[in-house]
Structure 1
Amino acid sequence: MIQNPILLGFNADPSFCRVGEDYYIATSTFEWYPGVQIHHSRDLVNWELVSRPLNRAALLDMRGNPDSCGIWAPCLSYADGKFWLVYTDVKRLDGAFKDAHNYITACDTIDGEWCDPWYVNSSGFDPSLFHDDDGRKWFVNMVWNHRGPGTGGNPANASFDGILLQEWSPEGGLTGPVKNVYKGSPRGLTEAPHLFKRNGYYYLTTAEGGTGYDHAVTLARSRDIWGPYEDHPEHHVISTKGTDGPIQRTGHGQWVETHWGNHFHTFLMGRPIPGPDGTGRYCPLGRETGIEEVVWRDDWLWLKEGGLVPRQELPGPVDVAPKAREAVRHSFGGGELPMDFQWLRTPEPERIFRMGPEGLSLIGRESIGSWFEQALVARRQEDFDYTAETEITAFAPESYQQAAGLTTYYNRHKFHAALVSDEPGIGRALVLMSCPGNWPDAQLEWPAEPVALEDGPVELKVEVRGAVQQFFYRQGGDWVAFGPELNAAVISDEGGRGEHGSFTGAFVGMVAMDTSGMAKEAVFSRFDYVPEGAA
Structure 2
Amino acid sequence: MSEPVAGPVRTAVNPVVRGFAPDPSVIRVGDWYYLATSSFEWFPTIPLYRSRGLADWEPAGAVDTAAPGRSLLGVPDSGGIWAPALSHANGVFWVVYSIVRSLGTRHFDLETYLCTASDVGGPWSEPVRVPGHGFDPSLLHHDGRHYLLNLQNDSRVGGRRFDGIVLTELEVPFADGVPGRVRAVGPTRLLLQRDELVEGPKITVHDGWFYLLLAQGGTGVEHGVLVARSRSLTGPYEVDDVPLLTSRDDPAVPLQKAGHGELVQTPSGEWYLTHLASRPLQTMAGPRNTLGRETAVQRVVWTDGWPRLAQDGWHPVSEVEVPAVTATATAVGQADDQRRGGLDVAPGWPWSTLREPPGDWVEKLPTSPDEPARVRVRGRQSAESLWQQSLLAQRLTEHHAEVEVTVDAEPTTFTQSAGLMLWYDTTSYYQLHVTWTEPEGEPQAGQQWAGGEGRRVLVLTHGHPDGARILATVDLPGGPVRLRARIDGATARLSSASGDGPWTQVGPDVDFSELSDDFGPRLRFTGAMVGISAVDLVDGTFTADFSAWSLRPRV
Same fold per superposition (TM over 0.5): yes
Q: Tell me the distance in 2 between the aligned counterparts of 1:169 and 1:301.
A: 31
Deviations 1:190-231 (A, max 9, x none): 111112211221121111100101101111111111111111
Corresponding residue number in structure 2 for 1:198: 206
For residues 430-449 of structure 1, what are the structure 2 equivalents within 5 Å? Answer: 430-436=458-464, 438-439=465-466, 443-448=467-472
What residue in structure 2 maps to residue 219 of structure 1?
A: 227
1:332 maps to which residue?
343
**Distance of aligned partners of 1:180 and 1:78 in 2 relative to their CA distance in 1, 3 Å threshold:** same
Q: Does 1:169 align with 2:193?
A: no
Aligned residue among 450, 458, 482 for 2:481: 458
Q: 1:422 aligns with which of 417, 427, 436?
A: 436
Residue pair 2:495, 2:505 contacting (<8 A) in 1 also: yes
1:494 and 2:518 correspond: yes
Letter in 2 for 1:445: R
Does residue 543 of structure 2 align to residue 521 of structure 1? yes
Local SS of the residue matching 2:359: helix
User: Residues 447-482 of structure 1, C-alpha deviation per residue, up to 9 Å, x if partnerless?
Assistant: 11x111111111100000000001111112111111
Letter paired with 1:66: P
Is the CA contact (8 Å cut-off) linking 1:378 and 1:507 kept in structure 2? yes
In the alignment, is the contact (CA less than 8 A) between 1:71 and 1:87 conserved in 2?
yes
Indicate the residue corresponding to 1:140 in structure 2.
Answer: 149
Q: 1:87 to 1:295 in 2, by over 3 A?
A: same
Q: What is the Cα deviation at residue 56 of structure 1?
A: 7.2
State whether residues 59 and 117 of structure 1, in contact with CA within 8 Å, keep that contact through their aligned partners in structure 2. Answer: no
Using the aligned pairs only, state the percent identity.
34
- What does residue 530 of structure 2 align with? 508
Choose which of 492, 496, 510 in structure 2 pairs with 1:473: 496
Partner of 1:240: 247
Q: Which of 387, 390, 396 matches 2:410? A: 396
2:108 match: 98
Match of 1:49 among 55, 59, 67: 59
Give the letter aligned to residue 416 of structure 1. Y
Moved more, 464-473 or 114-123: 114-123
Q: Would you say the 8 A contact 2:65–2:125 is kept in 1?
A: no
Please report the RMSD computed on the Cα atoms of aligned residues, expressed in angstroms: 1.9
**Cα deviation 1:165-196 (Å, max 9, x = unaligned):** 1111322623322334333445x221111122
Q: Tell me if structure 2 keeps the 8 A contact 1:71–1:90.
A: yes
CA contact (8 A) 2:65 2:127 kept: no
Q: Distance in 1 between matches of 2:391 and 2:380?
A: 9
Does the 8 Å contact 2:50/2:60 carry over to 1? Answer: yes
Match of 2:309 among 295, 303, 314: 303
> 1:484 Cα shift?
0.6
Structure 2: runs of 5+ lacking an equivalent: 1-10, 174-180, 368-373, 440-453
C-alpha distance in 1 between matches for 2:346 and 2:434: 25
Note the C-alpha offset of 1:122.
4.6
Structure 2 Cα separation of the partners of residues 331 and 159 of structure 1? 44
Q: Secondary structure at the match of 2:506?
A: strand
The alignment partner of 2:232 has SS state of: coil
Q: Residue 112 of structure 1 corresponds to which residue in structure 2?
A: 122
Counterpart AA for 2:343: F
Distance 1:419 1:178 in 2: 56
CA-CA distance at 1:55 after TM superposition? 4.4
Do 2:406 and 2:483's aligned partners in 1 also have CA atoms closer than 8 Å? yes
2:394 to 379, 382, 385: 379
**Aligned counterparts of 1:67 and 1:89: Cα–Cα separation in 2:** 13
Taking the aligned partners of 1:230 and 1:453, their CA distance within structure 2 comes to 67
Pair 1:159-2:161 in alignment: yes
Which is further off, 94-103 or 484-493?
94-103
Deviates more, 1:168-177 or 1:371-380: 168-177
> Size of the alignment, in residue pairs?
511
CA contact (8 A) 2:342 2:548 kept: yes
Cα distance in 1 between the residues matched to 2:361 and 2:200: 34
Whether the aligned pair in 1 keeps the contact of 2:37 and 2:83 (CA below 8 Å) is yes
The answer to whether residue 306 in structure 2 is matched with residue 283 in structure 1 is: no
Q: Distance in 1 between matches of 2:86 and 2:479?
A: 48
Q: Which has the larger radius of gyration?
A: 2
Structure 1 unaligned runs (5+)?
152-157
Q: Contact 1:327–1:528 at 8 Å: present in 2 too?
A: no
Offset at residue 75 of structure 1 (A): 0.4
Secondary structure in structure 2 of the residue aligned to 1:145: coil
Decide whether aligned partners of structure 1 residues 514 and 56 sit closer, same or farther in structure 2, where only a CA change above 3 A counts.
farther
Partner of 1:78: 88
**1:183/1:190 contact within 8 Å kept:** no
Whether the 8 Å contact between 1:162 and 1:180 is mirrored in structure 2 is no
**Would the aligned equivalents of 1:332 and 1:357 in 2 still touch at CA under 8 Å?**
no
* Separation of aligned partners in 1, 2:140 and 2:548: 44
CA contact (8 A) 1:34 1:342 kept: yes
Checking the alignment, whether the CA contact within 8 Å between 1:472 and 1:480 is kept in structure 2 is yes
Aligned position for 2:419: 405
Query: Is residue 66–residue 115 contact of structure 2 (8 Å, CA) maintained in 1?
Result: no
Distance 1:59 1:202, change over 3 A: farther
Measure the CA separation in 2 of the matches of 1:308 and 1:148. Answer: 37
- Compute the displacement of 1:148 (Å): 4.8
Q: Is the 8 A contact 2:247 2:255 kept in 1?
A: yes
1:279 Cα shift?
4.2
- 1:93–1:295: structure 2 CA closer, same or farther, 3 Å change rule? same
TM-score, normalised via structure 2 length: 0.89
Taking the aligned partners of 1:59 and 1:196, their CA distance within structure 2 comes to: 33
Corresponding residue number in structure 1 for 2:378: 363
| 1:155 corresponding residue in structure 2 | none
